Amino acid sequence: MRTKIVAGNWKMNKNLEETETLLTELSAKLPDTDAEVIVAPTFVNLAAAKESLDSSIIQVAAQNMHYAENGAYTGEISADMLLNIEVDIVILGHSERRSLFGESDGLLNKKVKAALGKGMKVIFCFGEELEDRKSDNHFSVVEHQLKNGLFDLDAKAWGSIILAYEPVWAIGTGETASPEQAQEMHAFIRKTISEAYNNSIADAVSILYGGSVKPSNAEEIFSKPDVDGGLIGGASLKGDDFVSIIKAI
């Protein structure tokens, strides 16, 4: 049985008070679930988020980190800084980091290794652009991202990896991949991992879908056999919507 996960990426939203208010609401309304629930507030609110969550059911993740231990990297945050405030999960490779901040597969590979080297869990995001899908290159783009980002990791490292397939054309656009498109890609991802490693690693890794998941479509997407949960952007900013999505799993 794979771990089911619902993670909320709050991006550059919510000040301190709003962060605490939303976490209080989520804690109060959290349904009884076997799924892991993760929220990723901004860096400046991570420590407060950890403190305000008395329930260990909701976990806190960072949205990014640098690969270096420390040093002259103005504006950056290291793994040790995150661990120091007991944040041991990090989202890496989000399409906004890739496209707006120029993060390449090679850079992400360094970040992944740095996080894993410190014992952190990584939610690794990847997915094709609209052009790639239109030109029928979506499978090869995804394969490339996985290969260059992750496939030089040793087998053991995969126990700390969560994958998030997020077709860029579906992020924040209101357009969702159909449940069939999500399933088709997730099955392809598992096959690709199985060929690069083995069946048991491919079977064990949780693969989340991300891209305009909302209460009205979550259940159908999550019902697909290779979809193990979701990485939620916009809908994770509203307590009731996020709770409905958690219920859907």
Summary count for the chain: helices (H), strands (E): 11, 8
Q: Which residues pair with 38 in a beta bridge?
A: 7, 59
Instruction: Tell me how far apart the alpha carbons of residues 178 and 159 are, in angstroms, rounded to a whole number.
Output: 28
Q: By C-beta, is 149 or 210 nearer to ligand PEP?
A: 210
> C-beta of 210: minimal distance to ligand PEP in Å?
3
Residues 127-166 as x/- pattern, contact with ligand PEP by CB under 6 A? ---------------------------------------x
Q: For the chain, first and last CA: distance in Å? A: 14
Instruction: Tell me how far apart the alpha carbons of residues 213 and 242 are, in angstroms, rounded to a whole number.
Output: 10
Among 172, 195, 199, 216, binds ligand PEP (CB under 6 A): 172
206 annotated among ligand-binding-site residues = no
Q: What is the dihedral of CA 206, 141, 192, 158, to 10 degrees?
A: -40
Instruction: Tell me how far apart the alpha carbons of residues 57 and 60 are, in angstroms, rounded to a whole number.
Output: 10
Q: By C-beta, is 178 or 200 nearer to ligand PEP?
A: 178
Residues 64-103 as x/- pattern, contact with ligand PEP by CB under 6 A? ----------------------------------------
Q: Interface with ligand PEP includes 233 (CB under 6 A)? A: yes
Contact 180, 188 (CB under 8 A): no
Active-site position among 20, 36, 94, 186? 94
Q: How many CB atoms lie within 10 A of CB 90?
A: 25
234 annotated among ligand-binding-site residues = yes
Contact 50, 89 (CB under 8 A): no
- Written as six digits, the tokens of 128 are 């094709």
Site for ligand PEP in 201-230 (CB under 6 A): 210-213
Positive or negative CA dihedral for 166, 172, 177, 179?
A: positive
Site for ligand PEP in 12-51 (CB under 6 A): none
Q: By C-beta, is 6 or 213 nearer to ligand PEP?
A: 213
Active-site position among 103, 128, 166, 186? 166
Positive or negative CA dihedral for 176, 32, 228, 65?
A: positive
Q: By C-beta, is 106 or 172 nearer to ligand PEP?
A: 172
Q: Judge whether 94 counts as a catalytic residue.
A: yes
> C-beta of 71: minimal distance to ligand PEP in Å?
29
Catalytic residue set: 94, 166
Instruction: Cite the annotated binding site for substrate by residue number.
Output: 9-11, 172, 212, 233-234
**Which residues make up the interface to ligand PEP (CB under 6 A)?**
9, 166, 171-172, 210-213, 231-235
